[in-house]
């Protein structure tokens, strides 16, 4: 939290886009009663008073709703969003939906994005939801091991997004492997996460008139 606070206080930008996985697991907006969530909301709200702040759901925080967004001063984005800035067209996604090779995850994703599943999950007491989230995160860590074992986005799906939105760049997170990849009709840029236990973490990706630039904290 200290790194996020410091980074937001020193960030100079016209707007900030958070492309999901803001937290390890978000189990419903009533989690805002937890001290760490209140601190997170305060840190983001302070940033939102200086610049527009946008949030796109990730696989770890797809249950983040309007109440939490309002508390953080964030505007919610669609799962696929086109940004036009600095004479560029950019498609913004979290990235998990395009990891087509991971059939088990895609089946899980389809289940938890259903309204009935979410209603059933959110009807459980907050402590029970938090315990379930911890179990699911631990199971995911054991299944994936290091970040190198995470699935990657399907190139054809990425290219199709660029064609559909008449864009040159696809920007996403999710894979925990920051980088730049050429596509047949453009490029794919991968955001850094803020896991400081690994190398090349804790970066902003800035879009400037001169192009893209990574900036470390």
Per the annotation, binding residues are 21, 59-60, 94, 102, 140, 174, 176
Residue 181: which H helix or E strand, with range?
strand 179-183
CB 190 within 8 A of CB 99: no
Find the distance separating the first CA and the last CA of the chain, reported in whole Å. Answer: 13
Nearest to 22 by CA among 54, 52, 51: 54
> To 5 degrees, how large is the angle CA 21–CA 2–CA 52?
55
3-state secondary structure 48-67: HCCCCEEECCCCCCCCCCHH
Q: Which residues are annotated as a binding site for substrate?
A: 59-60, 102, 140, 174
The residue behind tokens 């995160």 is 137
Q: Which residues are annotated as a binding site for Mn(2+)?
A: 21, 59, 94, 174, 176
Q: How distant is the alpha carbon of residue 167 from its chain centre?
A: 20
CB 61 within 8 A of CB 20: yes
Three-state DSSP state, 4: helix
Q: How distant is the alpha carbon of residue 153 from its chain centre?
A: 15
């Amino acid at each position: 939290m200290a790194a996020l606070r410091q980074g937001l206080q020193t960030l100079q930008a016209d707007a900030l886009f958070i492309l999901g996985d803001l937290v390890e697991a978000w189990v419903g907006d009533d989690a805002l009663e937890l001290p760490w969530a209140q601190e997170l909301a305060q840190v983001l709200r302070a940033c939102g008073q200086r610049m527009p702040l946008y949030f796109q759901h990730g696989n770890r925080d797809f249950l983040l709703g309007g109440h939490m967004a309002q508390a953080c001063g964030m505007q919610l984005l669609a799962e696929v969003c086109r940004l036009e800035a600095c004479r560029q067209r950019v498609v913004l996604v979290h990235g998990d939906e395009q990891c087509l090779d991971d059939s088990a995850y895609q089946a899980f994703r389809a289940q938890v994005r259903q309204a009935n599943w979410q209603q059933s999950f959110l009807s459980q007491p907050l402590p029970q939801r938090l315990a379930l989230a911890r179990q699911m995160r631990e199971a995911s860590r054991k299944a994936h091991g290091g970040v190198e074992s995470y699935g990657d986005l399907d190139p054809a799906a990425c290219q199709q997004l660029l064609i559909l939105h008449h864009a040159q760049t696809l920007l996403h997170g999710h894979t925990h492997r920051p980088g730049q990849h050429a596509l047949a009709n453009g490029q794919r840029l991968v955001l850094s996460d803020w896991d400081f236990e690994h190398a090349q973490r804790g970066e902003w990706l800035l879009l400037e008139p001169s192009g893209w630039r990574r900036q470390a904290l």
